[in-house]
């Protein structure tokens, strides 16, 4: 999920309702929070399912997963969300433990610690705390145990990722000296496991991020030598750069230490080595890192020369364009953008080319230049429709010129049904839009849902006919209860949306008749009954 969203936006109502039912009946078990901010639980349904969610501070879902067969946001995830909301929004502030311990009897505390130490994990933590000289040995044994049981598949990766994150949380509580002992032991094993395991849900990646974040925090001031050596070893391992972006995060930590210590030669040697073997993709990062090194050293002349020699890279050109725009030097901004467009076009970097066009359009609007050709290009970029650019393009024509230009546009887009439909919808040409939809080979319920709300009431009967044609095809192809259930609910929603159109109920009744004779589909009939048909 790319955008953080609350429960109603991601779960269909019936899924949310069933998730709430599971929560209300106490079927969310063993909730735990990992060091990376994920919440893990077991939800009891037809089986015991492992579920996880990652939430922001506003309880919006950022990512999640479940090992049930359902291939979308499921009721088990919804159940966990309801449980987390209840826990996080209603929990009170407990009495500070420090106050309670201050008043406790020392003998009683010792007795309690001895009882707690019967658990092996607690005993190891207490030993590491009371005997720091044994801490590294204890951590080494714990790391060995965690990875000894690690297999290769998805469930092994999930299990290991959770264990590592929990362990990192405990180490962090033991203090910076503990972190300095623990991370050098963990990092090589963790990247090796990440390389070989199926980390489809990203839990091992979260563990690596947690370790890197802990390393970052612990090296902010007076970085321990053991962690500097750990950093240097990690930065020599290309796997950190090949799998995700942890290598680049590690570099930024090391660069900060180099700068703090004034170790310019070591910093430059590392960056130059990386630049020498970089491919086209990561050379952009290392070229920018070299420029930042010039700036950190206060070498303004070297930084300026490096910057100008690397304007062929989009990252540098974006900075130059931003500077020109900030100074309202529109001519320079346009020159940089057109030059960038030529470079991107020659290399086939279409995404970069599009970005430059967008910025050029904004600059040309500032200068009052002729934007007609560029606005048209952006309005219909790669069969996508951009309404703001379409409106800007249309505004370049007079009222007398526009009708003829509109006819030419429709003729030019005759083979692009979706794009034609988008334009006709905006222009409220409903007769033409209806004709395009009826002839659209890819017409689906989703397409109709997109365009149908714009049609006024006189067209409702024809829109319903389009829907029923598609429903008839979808029902004939459906063969699972899940598909029947979805179609039944969609048809019921159509009946609610167009209550005056009796054709929907008549269609539903006909489907019941057809499927009550051979070959019968009892599951379809049950789902029809469930929604009230």
Tell me the per-residue pLDDT of 304-331, one tens digit each, with 9 for 90 and over: 999 999 999 999 999 999 999 999 999 9
In angstroms, the CA 29 to CA 80 distance is 9
Count the helices and strands in the chain (H runs, E runs).
29, 4
- pLDDT at residue 302, as a whole number: 96
Please report which confidence band the pLDDT of residue 2 belongs to, taking 50, 70 and 90 as the band edges: very low
The pLDDT tens digits for 477-511 are: 988 888 989 999 999 999 999 998 999 999 999 98
SS3 384: coil
Q: For residue 416, give the DSSP letter.
A: -
Please report which confidence band the pLDDT of residue 3 belongs to, taking 50, 70 and 90 as the band edges: very low
Mean pLDDT over 214-240 rounds to: 94
Estimate the crossing angle of helix 314-326 against helix 300-309, to 10 degrees. 110
pLDDT greater at residue 140 or residue 130: 140
pLDDT at 247 over 90: yes
Cα angle for residues 52, 79, 91 (degrees, 5° grid): 85
Please report which confidence band the pLDDT of residue 4 belongs to, taking 50, 70 and 90 as the band edges: very low
Mean pLDDT over 162-183 rounds to: 88
pTM above 0.75, yes or no: no
Least confident of 87-96, 128-137, 148-157: 87-96
On the question of a cis peptide bond just before residue 519, with omega within 30 degrees of 0, the verdict is: yes
Cα 282 to chain centroid distance, Å, stands at 22
Least confident of 5-9, 132-136, 216-220, 273-277: 5-9
The pLDDT tens digits for 83-94 are: 888 887 666 545
- pLDDT at residue 125, as a whole number: 65
How many angstroms separate the Cα of 343 from the Cα of each of 38, 107, 204, 421? 43, 76, 39, 34
Q: Which residues contact 274 (CB under 8 A, 6 or more apart)?
A: 282, 286, 289
Please report which confidence band the pLDDT of residue 115 belongs to, taking 50, 70 and 90 as the band edges: confident
What is the enclosing helix (H) or strand (E) of 424?
helix 417-427
- pLDDT at residue 111, as a whole number: 76
pLDDT at 139 over 90: no
For the chain, give the mean pLDDT: 87
pLDDT at 296 over 80: yes
Q: For residue 39, give the DSSP letter.
A: E
Per-domain residue ranges of the chain: 7-90, 122-261, 443-533
CB 42 within 8 A of CB 49: yes
The 3-state secondary structure of 50-114 reads EEEEEECCCCCEEEEEECCCCCCCCHHHHHHHHHHHHHHHHCCCCCCHHHHHHHCCHHHHHHHHH
- pLDDT at residue 435, as a whole number: 93
Q: For residue 32, give the DSSP letter.
A: E
- pLDDT at residue 188, as a whole number: 94
Q: Which has the closest alpha carbon to 386: 397, 375, 395, 396?
A: 375
What percent of the chain has a predicted confidence (pLDDT) above 70? 91
pLDDT greater at residue 460 or residue 222: 460
Q: Which has the closest alpha carbon to 465: 493, 432, 498, 496?
A: 498
The pLDDT tens digits for 338-380 are: 999 999 999 999 999 999 999 999 999 999 999 999 999 999 9
DSSP letter for each residue of 205-260 = HHHHHHHHHHHHHHTSSS--HHHHHHHHHHHT-THHHHSTTHHHHHHHHHHHHHHH
CB 265 within 8 A of CB 257: no
- pLDDT at residue 161, as a whole number: 87
- On the 0-12 / 13-18 / 19+ scale of CB atoms within 10 A, 213 is middle
CB 23 within 8 A of CB 86: yes
Q: Phi and psi for 52 in degrees, rounded to 5?
A: -145, 155
Q: Which residues contact 507 (CB under 8 A, 6 or more apart)?
A: 468, 471, 472, 491
Q: For residue 5, give the DSSP letter.
A: B
Please report which confidence band the pLDDT of residue 169 belongs to, taking 50, 70 and 90 as the band edges: confident
The pLDDT tens digits for 118-133 are: 777 666 666 666 666 6
What percent of the chain has a predicted confidence (pLDDT) above 90? 51
The pLDDT tens digits for 420-474 are: 999 999 999 999 999 999 998 888 999 999 999 999 999 999 999 999 999 999 9
- Strands 61-66, 28-33: pairing is unpaired
CB 382 within 8 A of CB 357: no
Please report which confidence band the pLDDT of residue 134 belongs to, taking 50, 70 and 90 as the band edges: low
CB 81 within 8 A of CB 43: no
């Amino acid at each position: 999920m790319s955008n953080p969203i609350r429960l109603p936006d991601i779960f269909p109502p019936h899924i949310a309702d069933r998730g709430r039912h599971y929560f209300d009946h106490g079927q969310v078990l063993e909730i735990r929070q990992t060091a990376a901010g994920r919440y893990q639980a077991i939800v009891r349904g037809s089986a015991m399912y492992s579920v996880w969610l990652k939430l922001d501070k506003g309880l919006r879902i950022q990512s999640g997963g479940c090992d049930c067969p359902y291939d979308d946001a499921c009721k088990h995830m919804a159940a966990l969300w309801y449980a987390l909301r209840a826990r996080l929004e209603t929990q009170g502030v407990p009495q500070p433990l420090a106050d309670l311990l201050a008043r406790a009897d020392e003998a009683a505390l010792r007795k309690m610690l001895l009882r707690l130490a019967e658990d092996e994990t607690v005993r190891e933590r207490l030993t590491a705390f009371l005997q720091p000289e044994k801490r590294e040995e204890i951590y080494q044994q714990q790391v060995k145990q965690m990875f000894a049981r690690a297999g290769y598949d998805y469930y092994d990766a999930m299990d290991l990722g959770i264990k590592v994150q929990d362990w990192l949380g405990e180490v962090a509580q033991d203090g910076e000296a503990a972190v300095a002992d623990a991370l050098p032991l963990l990092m090589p094993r963790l990247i090796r496991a990440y390389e070989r395991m199926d980390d489809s849900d990203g839990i091992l990646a979260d563990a690596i991020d947690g370790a890197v974040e802990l390393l970052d925090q612990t090296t902010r001031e007076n970085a321990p030598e053991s962690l500097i050596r750990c950093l240097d070893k990690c930065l020599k391992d290309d796997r950190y750069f090949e799998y995700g972006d942890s290598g680049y995060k590690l570099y930024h930590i090391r660069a900060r230490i180099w700068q703090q210590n004034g170790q310019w030669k070591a910093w430059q040697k590392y960056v130059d080595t990386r630049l020498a073997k970089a491919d086209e993709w990561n050379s952009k990062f290392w070229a920018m890192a070299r420029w930042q090194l010039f700036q950190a050293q206060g070498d303004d002349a070297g930084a300026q020369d490096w910057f100008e020699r690397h304007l062929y890279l989009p990252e540098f050109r974006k900075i130059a364009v931003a500077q020109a725009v900030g100074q309202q030097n529109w001519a320079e901004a346009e020159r940089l953008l057109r030059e960038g467009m030529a470079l991107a076009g020659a290399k086939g970097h279409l995404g970069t080319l599009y970005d430059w066009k967008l910025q050029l359009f904004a600059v040309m609007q500032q200068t009052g230049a002729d934007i007609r050709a560029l606005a048209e290009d952006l309005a219909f970029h790669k069969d996508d429709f951009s309404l703001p650019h379409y409106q800007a393009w249309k505004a370049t024509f007079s009222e007398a010129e526009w009708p003829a230009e509109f006819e030419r546009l429709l003729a030019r887009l005759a083979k692009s049904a979706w794009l034609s439909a988008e334009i006709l919808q905006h222009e409220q040409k409903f007769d033409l839009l209806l004709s395009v939809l009826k002839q659209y080979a890819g017409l689906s319920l989703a397409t109709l849902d997109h365009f149908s709300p714009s049609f006024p009431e006189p067209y409702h009967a024809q829109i319903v006919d389009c829907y029923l044609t598609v429903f008839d095809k979808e029902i004939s192809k459906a063969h699972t209860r899940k598909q029947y259930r979805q179609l039944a609910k969609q048809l019921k929603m159509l009946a609610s949306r167009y209550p005056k159109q009796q054709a929907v109920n008549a269609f539903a009744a006909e489907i019941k008749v057809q499927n009550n004779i051979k070959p019968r589909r009892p599951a379809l009939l049950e789902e029809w009954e469930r929604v009230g048909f």
